[in-house]
Structure 1
Amino acid sequence: MARKHDLDAEIEQARKAEAEVALSNIRETIAAFGFTPDEVFGARRKSRGAGNSAAPRFRHPETGETWGGRGPRPRWLKGKDPEQFRVGQA
């Protein structure tokens, strides 16, 4: 078991040394060609709902839940007139 532990430690050291060499090569290549992070890793995608959600148009007075008027009507609005929950209504 002690020998196995020693071998595992040697393997881990060798892996780290190889990783350092590989990372050094990658950094040199990036610097030599002037790659940007988007070119190396690909452009970041927006998460599915980020940036395109509607501003809240309706708010539940008790819970504060909101709905932008898109997608399925929330449970708290089913069977009710949504105008009574409109945000900014005086």
Structure 2
Amino acid sequence: MATYQELLAQKEALEKQIIEAKAREKAEGIAKAKAIIEQYGLSASDVFTRKGTAGSRGGKVAAKYRNPATGETWTGRGKAPKWIEGQDRNKFAI
């Protein structure tokens, strides 16, 4: 049976091999990606788009309601402003 010190030495050797293998495979992956990018003439925006990803936050939302007295608007999201609370929202629709 191996001693504690021998096992630690084996662990250290394995960790070094893991780091080397990871670096080698990463370099191979980068080389393959570069070849494909060159072959098809891709740009960074072609490869790294975020269109249609689940959970992505878009830009601003258009207002759905307007206060006729002040011109203040509300999108209909989040807590309703005081001027529309408890009233029929249809009469404030834009």
TM-score band by shorter chain is 0.5 to 0.7
Q: Give 1:29's match in structure 2, choosing from 19, 24, 36.
A: 36
| Structure 1 pair 15–45 and aligned structure 2 pair: CA distance change class (3 A) | same
AA aligned opposite 2:74: G
Shift of 1:75: 6.2
Q: TM-score, normalized by length of structure 2?
A: 0.51
**Please, what is the CA RMSD of the aligned residues?**
3.6
Aligned-pair identity in percent equals 26
Which aligned segments of 4 or more residues in structure 1 are displaced greater than 6 angstroms?
none
AA aligned opposite 2:43: T
Alpha-carbon distance in 1 for matches of 2:66, 2:13: 64
Alpha-carbon distance in 1 for matches of 2:31, 2:75: 52
Aligned to 2:50: 44
Q: Structure 2: which 5+ residue stretches go unaligned?
A: 1-7, 90-94
AA aligned opposite 1:4: K
Corresponding pairs, count: 73
Answer yes or no: is 1:10 the counterpart of 2:17.
yes
Cα contact 1:67–1:74 (8 A) shared by 2: no
Cα contact 1:57–1:68 (8 A) shared by 2: yes
Alpha-carbon distance in 2 for matches of 1:49, 1:33: 29
**Structure of higher CA gyration radius:** 2
Q: Structure 1: which 5+ residue stretches go unaligned?
A: 59-65, 83-90
